[in-house]
Structure 1
Amino acid sequence: MKLKLYILSLLLLCTNLLYAADPKFTVSVSKTEVGTTEQFEVTFTVNTNATNFTAPSFNGFLVVSGPNTSQSMSMINGVTSSSVAFSFDLIAVKEGTYTIGAATIVVNGKQLNTNPVKIKVVKGAAAPQNNNQPQTQAQNGPDPRINSGRPGDISKNLFILAAVNKTSAYIGEQLTLSYRLYTRVAIVNNELEKLSDLNGFYSQDIKAPDQTVHWRVETYKGLKYNVTDIKQNILSPEHAGDITIGPMIMDFIVREAAASQSRDPFDQFFGGYNDVKYKIKSVPVVIHVKPLPETGKQLGFSGAVGKFTISASVDKTELKANEPLNYKIKVTGSGNIKLLQAPSPNFPPDFEKYDPKTTDTIVDNEHGSSGSKIYTYLLIPRHGGNFTIEPLKFAYFDLNTHRYVNLQTAGFNIKVAKGVNENNVTSFGNKQDVKLLNKDIRYIKSNGGDIIKNGEGFYDSGLYYFLLLFGPLLFVGALIYGKWYEKNNSDIVKVKSRKASKIAAKHLASAQAQLSANNSKAFYENIFKGLYGYLSDKLNIAYADLNREKIAAELKARSLDEPLINELLDTLDLCDMARYAPVTGISEQQMFDKAKNMINDIENKI
């Protein structure tokens, strides 16, 4: 207690020194030129204790919030200074030049006034202003000066923005999705609840070079925020139409000033705080996806979108039969290169071909994917002769010209000498292997046997007549089965629904194998695909159109219990999140049993 009183005495001494300083009452604005309906902030600051603050009338502006009060205190070289700020969030309503009048406050019985401030309001959005400070500033951590320390409208002080570099794209065109966290409050902790639904896109995560969170200061709608990128993805639309990027949901613990103060003078001086939990959800984004044009599309087009080059090479042009030959195809460029399928060159029929080995050298960043893919084919000629590997045709859709570009590799003449292991097989104009025909003359069996009378052997026996009748009976049975099979399989929807559990069982079997191998990511991937694939077939909903709302609505329509539906949706969310980040609270074996039991329960009820 003595230590507490000693510290309090020192603070009171510093406060007396503060009172001796010249009081200052100033005004600042985030912008002096704003657009109609644009929001900006006006702040009145006094550098000492004061009373009776009176704000101006703000004629010509709409007051969104305020006065929002914040306090700060600092000690430099033994000198204590403190300040109180009163801020207002305003929206410009009409074009023109307006004057924000003087605010007043009383310090030690003396009234202080701020200077009037002129604000120019233009139509639409105003031009960006420098305000003698950079609008974006790289920092290792959040700028503490940005923290407003007031709860107010939390959605304005803390939110996630899903930003895309384009909202209109072709099928296969790459676009960058960035989840940016904007904050003006102190964040104590955060936890991811749900990732965005990216159905309809091929998604590739952009991996950060390190795990450090890089903060920067940005001005958004007239206010300064601490900003960091939570997650970035490269997306490629898989079909035409409007595709919605669902919201990302996160839980934050925010530190706010306490509403009530402690009676302890020491706590009253420093002030208290509360840690409050908030759920933040990003706004969904709609991407307008255009189909690729049919004009100029050739048979050689396989879905490449971007800008590419292609080349081919062989490691030798002369060799002997049964010796290996390496044929390489290299595709280089930027675009959806990761989605390219292995080409199918036309090789001579005398060449034995093996599946290609693929080597990727691809870089993912905020500009998309770029690099090269090399496909290496192992070929083995089986006969001698002169052969030709024809040029390979390759087409891609150029996003700059909005046209198809047709490319072609070089062709190669391969000279194959007769090999040692060719077994003296004569080659007639590079034909296939000479085949040995079976002998068509057989010797007559010379040793005879006893002649069997009718009825004594197989002929005219009971087995003979049974087998004679078995053929027509088998035909009738096959005809009846065919009619039954056609009837039961004519309805594709019912067939998919009937086979849904079998297909899901394959995914669960694969998940169990990954569980035994301790591969958590692949385990949850298989569980997720198994459940989604099962629901797609069972409910007759296209995989790309599946979402929480449709699943819940369809299961309710089939009279499933509400607890079972909620448990299924929670399991899907947990599996989706576990594919990208570790989860706690449930073991993988429990998750496997849970998914298996839910499929069985749905099968029993539907």
Structure 2
Amino acid sequence: MVMIFRSIKIFFTIIATTLYLNAQVSVTASVDANNISKSETFSFKIVALNADESPSVDISPFTNNFKVISGPSQQTNIQWVNGSMTSSRSLTWTLLSLQSGKLNIPSLNVRVGNKIYKTNPIGIVVEKGFGRAQVANLFIEAKPDKEQVHLGEQVTITYRLFSQLPLSVEDIEYPKTTGFWKEDLLPARAARFTNTKQINGITYRVATLYKSAMFPTQIGDLKISPMTAICNVEVSQRKRRGVFDDPFFNSMFQETQRKFIESDTLTISVVSYPKEPPIDFTGAVGQFSIDTWLDTLNVAVNEAVSLHVLLKGTGNLNQFKINQIKFPKNMEVFPPTSSFKRDEFRDRITGEQKFEYILIPRQSGSYSINPIALTYFDPDLDQFFTIKSKPLSLVVNPGEAISTAFGNNRREDVNLIANDIRYIKTDSTIKLFSSEGSLPFWVLTSYILSIAFFLFPAVFVRVNNQRINSLDFRINRRALKTALKDIDKESHDPFAHFSYVMYKYFKSKLYLRSDKLDPLILENILKPKLPANLLIKIISLAKTCDANRFSPGSNKKAKDIKIEITKLLKETDKKL
């Protein structure tokens, strides 16, 4: 009997040990390719075996070398093998290398429940795979019309997509510039292949993605970052030869590959002017003409007259000011209003800029307005020119005098006044309606009601329009209050809720059209508006929320993030 109990005990011990070993949690990290080109994306996966909860991980340690294209996507698998159950929970990202060479995905801390697991580091070799030689069937061309310009001179850059394959453009990141003022000639739009071009005997379909006029604001070698695009390209699968090795059947075996392409980095050399600019030079570069006129040549004292100044030409219009105009004394001048109209059908910025000054002469006489001078630099002729408008004359007539005394009055005037002036009543009792010459009460009431009915629609429309126009402003004013109220609401997925509250706040505060944001878009929007240290905190929090929305951590972590977001939104609201 003792032997039987001992055998049963050993049997259950073996079963318990087996179940324990099978149920032991393990975490691994893997990629689907270790040797890739810079134009290729790859998958990075973290798998937690026998875990009761989804893993959570901070991927920020490798985001300097890799860009997250999509993810994380969550997946759960359960398998039964020989009576044993195996479960796995995984997180998958699609990544793109930002650099070439030997790169490393470091060991990451993965939280599963209350325990921390470390993944194995992964090495990846990224080959430089850009340019026409490496991606001969798909590339972006960045073409400037000039590589050396003067300060303020226009350089036009055209970005075109060349392709031999059917594709769709998933995402485009437009070039960033420093040291340029730019004007979009062809706004960003979806790829439209409207023509073809042959290069070395190969025919490409060509789509113009973007065209911009850039005006340098500083001297030196200025760089323009590449335009990047992610394309989904349809390619034929390689099959071994067989009975179906025919073009008709090959069309049935198509697969879509995601390709990353970018244009070259451009360097524009900006040189100074050939000689020292004149004293009255205000930065005008191009070819211009100037004209002035008054809307009338004869006015009375205290009567307003408009002075119009018209600049026409090609160049950096709307980027410089005209010299201060010296107006005659005894003439009040109001600050000018300006407007700019561009010719949309030319690549070189061409148009006209109008200035309007309101003048009010305070004394009579003849006034002269001196010619207005404009000095500009012509880059085609490589020299400065000064042009002047014609002088203008204005005659100001005396206004009508108001007499305050009666002197040398004629008898007829006195008689007329006598007929018009009545004696003043000294009776202190004032009657609302007298019995002589006044309107009946019901007639007066009808007049008042008629006026009210006539004015009410106009007043109502104006008040309603003002209310509608101020809606965005009111939402902006309440953005912080709404965010602090929303963040306290309970949610089954706190990280997704925190992310939603943050993006909704920035949509309201910055008058954005949509709250469908991500950390990259948010960084580009906030970069010129916030200090660098505050911006880093905001983007870090946004990435943390996005990374944990599919793999929520402990309640303690969620509470800490909530406190940090609340503090950060209050600090941000003061800066914005």
Q: TM-score scaled to structure 1, two decimals?
A: 0.46
- Higher RCO, Cα 8 Å, sep 6+: 2
